[in-house]
Structure 1
């Protein structure tokens, strides 16, 4: 327990020999040190998680994440330790606020940086669903763009194919109708266009010849349609239309699993809005509150140090600093006196030597 206490004292950035003289201050600085330590721990987890997505897919992704997480956590820990220890409790309240303001702003920025990767993990499921919708919409838009470009590029060919298909359909419908009329004529079915006399008469023969001719025309037209369709399909293959398909469920799962930090960060921002563009207040508040929680947690050591009263440890530190400054000034005076004395001795020695020289002359 004593080792843990001393560790948290170290985290708070205090002068341990001085603090040991004031037992009433021990718990306060244990709390401040623990807050700084856990802030650094959260920063390590956050930085490691973010770096994992940067190198995701690499065999060394975990090692990179661990290394950067430790490095980032130590950097934030050291910065928080400096921020808290640099607040002088022996100054006036106004001066303390002025001292703390830039440190609080820095703490807010650090809190925002720390909170983002952790928010990505907390809303991981929702982010993946939003990414799936985004990837699917982007793929659909890409296919639509390719289709429009292809239509504009081959407008003449496509219109000709459309006209040929319309002619073919019309001709097929006409042949089917005439074939039915021929059957009615042969089997003696009375209609407005048939005689009603059973048998294969001149009208039936003429009708059959017409049908054969029209069937030949239809076969020729079908051949032209197939040729044009093959040409269009070849152009689609060349322009990449046939290779583009909407993503399947498995493909979407794979894409979301390898999504980078930027895509996931964008999706997290989009969670505050519904798919129709309206604002989703519930999710937006949830994301904001989590971010504010980490910002407050990052600022907490500074607030605790500012809110705490000036205790015996602060007075002892002030006295120690005053004593050290006085000692430093005395050391300076000593060095000046020594320098002056040495200089005076050198001057006196030089004068004596000069006198001896003049006497000899």
Structure 2
């Protein structure tokens, strides 16, 4: 049963193959097994690749089965359409488009399996890329908010500098009126005289201005700090919104790009393995000598071709003969008086009927 199934997979004519030796049957069993297992690997590869896209097991398996059947049908067609002609060059030219197709199929099959085999290494590359994207994303978003935040912080510093400048002025006035009272500066008279009172009044006025300035600037600083907090909150919100996009940077194309960053030699040998599997039935048929199956198949096909050509030539000869006979018959009838008189009588009757009909029509008009 299994042998018969693999023979069907090979695309060989089972009726002809049953007439061949066991060795010939085993050869085509091996070809069919290669076709089947290549399709099986295509199913596994496609299912994994589609799982990375859809993230759904049943959907991936469904489309994987379709892809596996497609590859099976293509491989079976490629193997079954290579005919042994006895000339290696003719056979190679006949097989070259199929070899190119086999190379394409090998690439398509091997790539998803490479992704699975090197999954851990790919995850490491993706992690590094995600970290780089996260930093770049934060920097890009920060460029939108930092100028506004810096401007607000500079305004706060300016308000704080105003307070500091005013405090320095008030402290200087305090030192002046204290020194006046102690007699160490100004009039150098100890005691609280008119000059002391004047300087004390300047200090008290400046101190009141300082208190008012602190109150006003504190309110402004609070407002500016509130604006800064809002900008920082908006910045964090933007980070939270965009980070899931970076975290989901794990699709099929991202993994293929990550695979390309790994050393190429292991991937290349995996590709060669699948290329050898995919092209082995074709190469085997090219290198194998013309066998009993090929002779029997050629005999069957040429018999059909010969029969078709014979039927075609026979129909052409029949048609040509029929034309010649018809020509002779009509030529002989040209000199028959009886046929001439009969047709003359009928033509005369027809012309009389036409004349009567014309006369009747014209009479109605008048």
Distance 1:359 1:253 in 2: 99
- Aligned partner of 2:255 in structure 1 is 264
Q: CA contact under 8 A between 1:136 and 1:246: conserved in structure 2? A: no
Q: Structure 2-normalised TM-score?
A: 0.70
Q: CA contact under 8 A between 2:82 and 2:95: conserved in structure 1? A: yes
What does residue range 77-116 of structure 1 map to in structure 2 within 5 Å?
Answer: 77-116=72-111
CA shift, 1:109, in A, is 1.0
- Aligned partner of 1:10 in structure 2 is 8
Q: CA contact under 8 A between 1:147 and 1:241: conserved in structure 2? A: yes
CA shift, 1:167, in A, is 8.4
1:293 has 2:273 as partner: yes
- Aligned partner of 1:185 in structure 2 is none
What does residue range 77-226 of structure 1 map to in structure 2 within 5 Å?
Answer: 77-153=72-148, 155-162=150-157, 223-226=219-222
- Aligned partner of 1:42 in structure 2 is 41
- Aligned partner of 1:194 in structure 2 is none
Q: Deviations for 1:202-224, whole angstroms, at most 9, x for unmatched residues?
A: xxxx9xx9999989977766554
- Structure 1 unmatched ranges of 5 or more: 179-205, 273-280
- Aligned partner of 1:201 in structure 2 is none
1:228 has 2:224 as partner: yes
Q: Deviations for 1:305-338, whole angstroms, at most 9, x for unmatched residues?
A: 2222222222222222222222221121222233
The structure number with the bigger radius of gyration is 2
SS of the residue aligned with 1:139?
Answer: helix
Distance 1:8 1:253 in 2: 48
Distance 2:310 2:254 in 1: 63
Q: CA contact under 8 A between 1:130 and 1:267: conserved in structure 2? A: yes
Between 140-149 and 214-223, report the one with greater CA deviation: 214-223
CA shift, 1:7, in A, is 1.8
Structure 1 pair 339/153, CA: closer, same or farther in 2 (3 Å)? Answer: farther
Q: CA contact under 8 A between 1:127 and 1:264: conserved in structure 2? A: yes
CA shift, 1:140, in A, is 1.8
Between 347-356 and 68-77, report the one with greater CA deviation: 347-356
- Aligned partner of 1:51 in structure 2 is 50
Distance 2:133 2:146 in 1: 20
- Aligned partner of 1:243 in structure 2 is 237
Q: CA contact under 8 A between 2:130 and 2:247: conserved in structure 1? A: no
- Aligned partner of 1:331 in structure 2 is 311
Distance 1:112 1:320 in 2: 37
Q: CA contact under 8 A between 1:132 and 1:252: conserved in structure 2? A: no
CA shift, 1:252, in A, is 9.8
Structure 1 pair 133/215, CA: closer, same or farther in 2 (3 Å)? Answer: farther
- Aligned partner of 1:33 in structure 2 is 32
Q: Structure 1-normalised TM-score?
A: 0.71
1:318 has 2:298 as partner: yes
Q: Deviations for 1:115-144, whole angstroms, at most 9, x for unmatched residues?
A: 112222222333333323322321221111
CA shift, 1:253, in A, is 11
Q: CA contact under 8 A between 1:90 and 1:318: conserved in structure 2? A: no
Distance 1:311 1:287 in 2: 37
Which residue among 53, 56, 71 is the counterpart of 1:76? 71
Q: Deviations for 1:257-301, whole angstroms, at most 9, x for unmatched residues?
A: xx332222222223x1xxxxxxxx4xx322222222222221222
Q: Answer 1 or 2: which has greater helix percent.
A: 2
Distance 1:53 1:116 in 2: 13
Between 347-356 and 71-80, report the one with greater CA deviation: 347-356
Q: CA contact under 8 A between 1:135 and 1:252: conserved in structure 2? A: no
Q: CA contact under 8 A between 2:130 and 2:246: conserved in structure 1? A: no
- Aligned partner of 1:197 in structure 2 is none
SS of the residue aligned with 1:243?
Answer: helix
CA shift, 1:148, in A, is 1.9
